[in-house]
Amino acid sequence: MSLPRPLLPLPSDSLFALLVLEDGAVFAGRTFGDAQRLLRGERCGEVVFNTAMTGYQEVCTDPSYRGQMVVMSYPLIGNYGIDPDTSESRRPWLSALLVRQYCDEYSHHAAKESLHTFLQRHGIPAMCELDTRALVAHLRTRGTLRGVMRAAPRPEELDVPALVAAAQRVRPIAALDVVDEVAEAVPQALTPPGAPGAAGPQVVLIDTGYKYNIARCLLERGVTLTLLPPRTPLSELLSRQPAGVILSNGPGDPETVTHLVALCRELIRLRVPLLGICLGHQILGLAAGGKVSRLPFGHHGCNHPVMDLRSGRVTLTSQNHNFQIDGDSIPEASGFFVSHRNLSDQSVEGLAHRSLPILSVQYHPEAAPGPEDNRAVFDEFLHLLGRR
């Protein structure tokens, strides 16, 4: 098995590599990032695709991708380098990055290093020169699949049947405790840039893998923001006397974080104002008595149309999730109703309560690099705090 000459210059340590899926599909490419990790052994995970044209740095540092290998459907990746001020968390979390063309010669006034150097420094392997159009089409047809990556100096050194067997042994994301891996371990008081503190309402953000831009959007609105770990007891949370609580985004299956579902159920009972985002939306749906199911290949990208059923307004949204709340499973007696729908597949994109100050969205209102259509979700939440 051989590859044509790459269209763009690659790092000097680039090696031949294979991505092998659990159904036997094989995709060949070349390495960048931490190639040595693929020489020492396989890198594994569920393989999902992202449809965004920009934002590869935000994708790499989104904790919701923990345990997954991400295919970028846009063909050219790396051309604007890495800006340390636009990361969404303290490090990249994805298992591997898969792209068509990698551009090592970046050009942007804020960039400080190449994507290759960034991934290499954090021990993340990546592949380029593989047929991402065929791979995305395969995942759309077959759904999310488990896979393994392996590199070698020569193609004949790779044992494809052994790699297929290894892919079939990969643990699915639903079997992993990924929330505790990505969350901060200790409480943190977050303050607005250039200010010692804030005079706005005290808001608690429960960290299940939050994106930095959620905090930025809240701090821009003047709130006093405290970040708490996901296993914070209810008594400790209430001792901070929050005006409201936000359940953040994060990775994995919401049914694995039963302690957070129980915590959310108590907060609903106490009529504490709540905002759920992505995983937080799913946790809130479970606490309301709903059920979750898995989407065939998930929603990953920044071009998903969503309608607010209350106003009829349609916006483009950024999304990154594999699971959904089943709208028909929400008990009528819970007081919750479906507030938003995805216009592509009619999946649930938001919940609200008829009388309590509670709402949730499946998409990312803080979306970075965009779109910015949905920042008003934070304003709506703060309005609920003011009404209370």
DSSP annotation string for 281-302: HHHHHHHTT--EEEEEEEEEEE
Q: Which amino acid is at 197?
A: G
The model's pLDDT over 243-296, given as tens digits with 9 standing for 90+, comes to 999 999 999 999 999 999 999 999 999 999 999 999 999 999 999 999 999 999
* pLDDT at residue 6 greater than cutoff 80: no
Assess contact for 249 and 209: CB atoms under 8 A. Answer: yes
The residues pairing with 31 across neighbouring beta strands, listed in sequence order, are 127
From the candidates 22, 46, 88, 366, which is the catalytic residue? 366
302 flagged as catalytic: no
Give the rounded distance of the alpha carbon of 7 from its chain centre. Answer: 30
pLDDT for res 192? 57
CA angle 236, 234, 289 (to 5 degrees): 160
- pLDDT bin (cut points 50, 70, 90) of residue 2 is low
The single-letter DSSP state of residue 4 is P
pLDDT for res 40? 85
From the candidates 281, 299, 304, 364, which is the catalytic residue? 364
pLDDT for res 12? 81
The predicted model scores a pTM of: 0.94
pLDDT for res 371? 87
From the candidates 278, 302, 349, 353, which is the catalytic residue? 278
* pLDDT at residue 197 greater than cutoff 70: no
Phi, psi of 199 (to 5 degrees): -100, 0
300 flagged as catalytic: no
103 flagged as catalytic: no
The model's pLDDT over 7-62, given as tens digits with 9 standing for 90+, comes to 778 888 889 999 999 999 999 999 999 988 888 888 999 999 999 999 999 999 99
The model's pLDDT over 159-194, given as tens digits with 9 standing for 90+, comes to 999 999 999 999 999 888 899 999 999 999 987 555
Can you list the domains of the chain with their CATH numbers?
16-171 (3.50.30.20), 179-387 (3.40.50.880)
